[in-house]
Structure 1
């Protein structure tokens, strides 16, 4: 009986990872669509918090125009999310809960170690606090980024990324 259960469990695990990405077990907080090669749904890649926490992480202390003083933001690196889904595009459209969106060059993620922050000062970001995800450039590490171009790309309350050519 135990062997049968183990075999069935293994089969479901393989089905969940059939396209190279495991299925989320918790609430989905990020959906990636577009030009991707690894999915866990019908042409989409869905992530729960645990899946995002298992990607390469980075923390950066940054002063932003939206919060008073410097804060430490942490979360998965943008490149780690793109690598996890096998992204093939050159631009990502980052979409917020309120449908605000910004186009971000993939090269930004590589050049500036951009993160999709899930926490600020060690506290999980909630929707009220600009969560569940907040795209953060390392503004204090690279002062040239502290301008309207990069502020406009720093979307908060992110729920979706669409990979485009």
Structure 2
């Protein structure tokens, strides 16, 4: 029994520092003027500390209107860095990727949702980050092509 407790205590001491470190849930990627990529990692806490926007909407993946809260995608980047003719490449944890026109995030309040109906979303619940368009507010966004842009388990956003 003493051996077991000693091993358990040793494992806790070894693992404790890694458990306290904040985990990256999203990476922003921007190409610099010299052609290199500049990556910035965000934890859930980092994203929550930025201005939040709430979108109440329906989509093909929720049963009823849901309330989503998160950072506006356009606010993830420096003001003026997103041009209407640019694209954003959104990549999920499983490497599934979608390219959307940057005009979407300039014209609509597209958010990086981290909560749905007031609860943080886990990977199992399409989190920790889910791209949400305000579909109920704009008839045009109800088109099926916009549902294809609702990428969940988002891990990176790259400005191209």
Q: TM-score range by the shorter chain?
A: 0.7 to 0.9
Which of 45, 64, 67 is the equivalent residue of 1:50?
A: 45
Residue of structure 2 in register with 1:111 after alignment: 107
Mapped partners of 1:32, 1:83: distance in 2: 11
Alignment gaps of 5+ in structure 1 = 1-24
Could you tell me how far apart the structure 1 residues matched to 2:131 and 2:77 are?
A: 14
Spell out structure 1 runs of 4+ moving beyond 4 A: 86-89
| Aligned counterpart for 1:142 among listed residues 113, 116, 138 | 138
**Judging changes above 3 Å, is the alpha-carbon distance between structure 1 residues 50 and 87 closer, same or farther for their aligned structure 2 residues?**
farther
Please state if 1:77 is matched with 2:77.
Answer: no
Asked if the contact 2:31–2:38 (Cα under 8 Å) also holds between the matched residues in 1, the reply is: no
Deviations 1:38-92 (A, max 9, x none): xxxx8311111121112221101111101101100110011111228x8456111
User: Structure 1 CA distance, aligned partners of 2:114 and 2:66?
Assistant: 13
RMSD: 1.9
- Contact 2:29-2:159 at 8 Å conserved across structures: yes
Q: Deviations over 1:116-141 (max 9, x none)?
A: 10000000011000001100000111
Normalised to the residue count of structure 2, the TM-score between the two structures is: 0.78
1:15 alignment counterpart = none
Is residue 127 of structure 2 the alignment partner of residue 131 of structure 1? yes
Question: Aligned equivalents of 2:27 and 2:54: distance in 1?
Answer: 22
In the alignment, the residues of structure 2 paired with residue 137 and residue 33 of structure 1 have an alpha-carbon distance, to the nearest angstrom, of: 21
**5+ long unaligned stretches in structure 2:** 1-20
Q: Could you tell me whether the CA contact under 8 Å between 2:67 and 2:117 is conserved in 1? A: yes
Helix, strand or coil for the counterpart of 1:50? helix
User: Is the contact made by 1:134 and 1:154 (CA closer than 8 Å) also made in structure 2?
Assistant: yes
